[in-house]
Structure 1
Amino acid sequence: MNKRMFRSWDTTVLVVDDVEANRCAMGAVLSRAGHRVVPLASASATLVELDARLRAGALPDAAVLDVGLPDMDGFELCRRLKAHPGIAPMPVVHFSAAAVTPHDRSRGLDAGAEAYLTVPVEPEEIQAVVRAVLRGAKLRHESAARAGRLSRLAEATATLYEASCPQELADAAAAAAMLLTSGPVTGFVFGTDALLHAGGAARPDQAAETPALAVLLRRAMAGRSGVRSVLAPAPLWPPQLFGPEGARLVLARCHADQPPVCLAVPARLPYGQETETLLSRLAQSLAVAAESLRTHAEERHIALTLQRSFLPQRAPRLPGADIALRYVPASSRAEIGGDFYTALSTPAGLLVGVGDVVGHSLDAATVMVELRHALRAYATDQHEPAALVRLLDRMLQLYHPEATATLCLALIDPATGAARIANAGHLPPLLLPGSGGASYIETRGPLLGLGLRHPPSTRLQLGPSDGLLMVTDGLIERRGTDLEVSLEHLRRAAAEAPSATEALCDTLLERFGDDPEDDVALLALRLGADRSAAVPM
């Protein structure tokens, strides 16, 4: 449909009638009302004309059709026009001097026509009917356009929350705003480091202009929250962005103590009230997304700091075994989880384990710390892995009833190689024989925190140079890949990796740990490599 405002002096109307005198009379009435008239004599000529005008982007604003055309009646012609998605918005008025019964008028309206005129008719009525159908078409066009803009706003708002960093958010905001304005937009978002990130087609030079713009944006929102629209004229606004006229800034923030976000558009471009309203709503959504991103980054930093502070970064020296430990946080796009490892020297042997609190963020890291401390405390008197698992299960039920965790514990006597293993919902440990190869140890049990019965420890005899590998699922789990397939990939990789524990961990992280979606914890142990004094963790 044409985007003109349907003013009578700026509209084109087709008049289709096989009788020349009738075409001239109807055309004269409409011309006097200020419409441009295109006279046509047949349905086939009408279809050809409309096809050409549609391809040229100049569709008429209305069509007035005689019902009794020689090659196709006006009803069928109207049905064909309304069946074409590009032509259907054009209003149609039927007229006839012969088909004048209520049934005829009903056929016309059922075919899709907006009105039906019975000839003879007064010129004023013809002009009024055409004005009415043009007015209705204009309202439908404006409603469809408004619905489209609101739909684009909703889609744009959704894309904001997919951004994983301030730069992505600024780019997404600029792209979304350009859908609303059909013009250049620059989006500005402050990062947690107080640096200003610019997104969009026109970006300021980071070294020369961004610091000054950061000061301008903060001052424009000084003491305010919500949304504010201001004009930033030259020389306050760099001429490289939008030209010498300056910019219109739509700023927003949720709280006065937070840095603002901004959508900048050229000051010279005339935006209507509706577009300004949509930009304001988008800026509000941008402010919420930016605050959510900052909160996530801050919480992730706290959780990662907490997690690292309670997980020693170097392996302990335990008697009769060589141990390597690794912890790799999830990628910056993911939340920190509750992965942990432990290695203790007890009177009954070496107690080693790897666990994972289900969930992410600061809560998971906090529960992880409590689990690890509880394990160390219980291990002063109790060394049997299955008994320790039952104690930790009760601890979670009592103090964190909403939390669950997985854990694999192994108690190993380096002198004899006797091992006992308890598994609470965790990935099975890998046995790494000194002669080479790798196989999973069959040991199972329910998650911690569910209050279910845990089976006795699995007993195993290790050789002098045999090893164990324990990992959390973040190392191998990937979307779209079956866990059994991933476990087999890990088994093969461990069998082919160097036998030394440090080299083994490095090899596995290089193979599987690139940009992990979840935290990764590894513990590799091999007997007989070091019998020096222990340093408990």
Structure 2
Amino acid sequence: MGLTADDTGTEAGAEAGAEAGAEAGSAVLVVDDAPAGRYATGAVLRRAGHRVVPVASAGEALAELDLRLRSGALPDVALVDVGLPDMSGFELCRRLKARPPTAALPVVHFSAASVAPVDRCRGLDAGGEAYLTVPAEPEEIQAVVRAAVRGARMRNGAEALVRRLTLLCETIVAVQAARTLDELAGAAAEGAARLTRSPAAVFVLGEDGHLRSGTSRARARTTLPDAGAHEAVARLLRRLTDGDPGPHDTVVPAPLWPAGFFPPGVTEDARPAPARTENGTPVCVATPVRGPRGATPDTPGLVARLAQATALAAQPLLMYQVERHVALTLQHGFLPKRVPDFPGLDVVVRYVPASRETEIGGDFYAVLSTPDGLLTAVGDVVGHLLDAATVMVEIRHALRAYCVEGSDPAALAHRLDRMLQRYHPDVTATVCLALVEPGSGRVRIANAGHIPPLIVRDRGEAEYVKAAGPLLGLGLDRPAPTEAVLWPTDRLLMVTDGLVETRGIDLSLSLEQLRVAAADAPAGTAALCDTLLHCFGRDREDDIAMLALRLRLG
């Protein structure tokens, strides 16, 4: 049944309809089995500025929509005759609404025969947006089409905004969960890429001038940004955030944007969205001005909000970096890389801080000369960063002072325990103390919750000294020192758990692996330490303190 009108309407009405249709620029799928109806309806719609796609049956309509789905160009509205020859217009509408790719396509039913209220209800119940009774005036046809398109676009726009806001929320959660600045930049870049459907890069310029960047993963990059590119972005960020930290509408022309941050072939200008932390640290989210499928009007605002959220999340991580630097400086200042020469003994120490973005702990070592022999200590303050590093320094100084009055390891452990209880009641620490007599090779060991020393024999054997005791800071009774004897070819190894402790792996298994590796290590104290660091000390989540000694031959 054709959707025809008795009159084409006045010239003014046609012109008004044409203007409105041209402004919409919409495509209309007309499904009508009557050739005359398709022609008349198409003429009315084309006069209003619409693009018309005529088909004669429901099967043809489904095939046409499938074809257009592959090209990503669905019509804006479908005018469907109720009385089609292969299936009713109601059934076609239900099928369209049941398929996710076409569910949002607005459907307007029309009929000259099925005009009762029950028919209109069937059309609406099937999912249609409107119902026309024909013949109808051209103005009415055009108005119904415009209303259907306008409503669909509003719904689609609202749904798209909800999706983008959801993406923004998910990205902010991922950014706030980042443990490092590199993770934060990567999470923000990936979220910006999803928001804009384009490549994205995120930058955080630390107080030390080091630029940390993250880029979206969905790209084939062949050129890595070099030091010059990083410096160029750093200068740009300083200019963008100098003064007013609010939104900017700056565009960086493509030829001026440093190479390597966007994939090859992206020649669009870049739009940076700058922000600042509370301390004034520049943060920026950069995307091409237009993404592959185009940006919506609200996209720049969403990206700006992401930049602000990234700056807020970066603040505690930057503060942590400053505290980490201070703690690391403090540890390096009190843990010299080399120890003085001691008569009769070869002593080697190693200290390796945790990997760049993980926490600095309170690991320490000490080598002190006493009238009774050489006192060695390796320990770890429970905690991280400045608190742990400060207590570590206090323990080392207290140990040096206590050695003036006596060098018995058990007595020293007892005094350190009392010091922690008095001045740091909420802190505990582990320490292993060993007093070595160079002349006899006698070793007395007091262990306070630490990994026991490992004696490595030159004949390919290694065993832990059976020395144990409670942590420092608990005020518990301490056992008498454990005694052992070092032969001239033996090596005594003392380490902190950062060398072997791995999340999810039982410590006893890791200690056995350490024992086997030490037994197979080359001769010499330095070779022993270096071999074990090579085997176990890469990208550790905790600091590593290590001390090895042996009696000097001759």
TM-score range, shorter chain: 0.7 to 0.9
Cα deviation, 1:70-124, whole Å, max 9, x if unaligned, reads: 433444433432333322221233445666677766655454x142526457545
- Aligned counterpart for 1:260 among listed residues 282, 292, 296: 282
Contact residue 108 and residue 132 of structure 2 kept, 8 A: no
CA shift in 2, pair 1:232/1:20, >3 Å: closer
Contact residue 257 and residue 270 of structure 2 kept, 8 A: no
Distance 2:277 2:459 in 1: 63
Aligned residue in 2 for 1:36: 51
Aligned residue in 1 for 2:218: none
1:462 aligns with 2:472: no
Aligned residue in 2 for 1:115: 129
Q: What is the CA distance between 1:298 and its match in structure 2?
A: 2.9
Contact residue 225 and residue 252 of structure 1 kept, 8 A: no
Aligned residue in 2 for 1:498: 522
Cα deviation, 1:492-520, whole Å, max 9, x if unaligned, reads: 11001123212211221222223433211
Letter in 2 for 1:88: A
Q: What is the CA distance between 1:51 and its match in structure 2?
A: 0.6
Letter in 1 for 2:129: A
Q: What is the CA distance between 1:61 and its match in structure 2?
A: 1.2
Q: What is the CA distance between 1:379 and its match in structure 2?
A: 4.2
Q: What is the CA distance between 1:309 and its match in structure 2?
A: 1.2
Q: What is the CA distance between 1:306 and its match in structure 2?
A: 0.6
Distance 1:173 1:356 in 2: 36
Matches within 5 A, 1:120-519: 120=134, 122-123=136-137, 126-154=141-169, 158=174, 162=178, 177=192, 179-181=194-196, 189-194=204-209, 218=238, 221-222=241-242, 224=243, 226-229=245-248, 231=250, 238=256, 250-254=273-277, 258=280, 260-262=282-284, 274-288=298-312, 292=316, 294-318=318-342, 320-346=344-370, 349-381=373-405, 383-414=407-438, 417-449=441-473, 451=474, 453=476, 456-457=479-480, 459-465=482-488, 466-479=490-503, 481-519=505-543
In structure 2, stretches of 5+ residues that fail to align are 1-19, 216-220
Cα deviation, 1:424-463, whole Å, max 9, x if unaligned, reads: 33334323235431123344445444x3745524634324
Distance 1:195 1:521 in 2: 28
Structure 2 residue matching 1:511: 3-state secondary structure: helix
In structure 1, stretches of 5+ residues that fail to align are 532-537
Structure 1 residue matching 2:382: 3-state secondary structure: strand
1:57 aligns with 2:72: yes
CA shift in 2, pair 1:216/1:414, >3 Å: closer
Contact residue 357 and residue 404 of structure 1 kept, 8 A: yes
Distance 2:470 2:158 in 1: 58
Letter in 2 for 1:377: A
Contact residue 496 and residue 544 of structure 2 kept, 8 A: yes
Letter in 1 for 2:246: V
Cα deviation, 1:272-317, whole Å, max 9, x if unaligned, reads: 7633323432333454466555434332222111101111322344
CA shift in 2, pair 1:42/1:405, >3 Å: farther
- Normalising by structure 1, what TM-score? 0.78
1:46 aligns with 2:70: no
Identity among equivalent pairs (%): 54
Cα deviation, 1:355-393, whole Å, max 9, x if unaligned, reads: 122332222211211222233334444655455445434
Distance 2:494 2:548 in 1: 6
- Normalising by structure 2, what TM-score? 0.76
Contact residue 505 and residue 524 of structure 1 kept, 8 A: yes
Distance 1:387 1:110 in 2: 88
Structure 2 residue matching 1:226: 3-state secondary structure: coil
CA shift in 2, pair 1:34/1:332, >3 Å: same
Distance 2:115 2:475 in 1: 83
Letter in 1 for 2:98: A
Distance 2:237 2:547 in 1: 49
Q: What is the CA distance between 1:414 and its match in structure 2?
A: 4.8
Could you tell which deviates more after superposition, 99-108 or 316-325?
99-108
Cα deviation, 1:16-59, whole Å, max 9, x if unaligned, reads: 34455655565566555543332333322222111101012211
How many residue pairs get aligned? The number is: 519
Could you tell which deviates more after superposition, 333-342 or 101-110?
101-110
Q: What is the CA distance between 1:485 and its match in structure 2?
A: 3.6
Letter in 1 for 2:482: R
Letter in 2 for 1:115: E
Letter in 2 for 1:226: P
Aligned residue in 2 for 1:72: 87
Distance 2:150 2:517 in 1: 72
Letter in 1 for 2:521: A
Distance 1:396 1:276 in 2: 55
Aligned residue in 2 for 1:534: none
Structure 2 residue matching 1:72: 3-state secondary structure: coil
- Aligned counterpart for 2:545 among listed residues 504, 510, 521: 521
Structure 1 residue matching 2:381: 3-state secondary structure: strand
Distance 2:224 2:343 in 1: 60
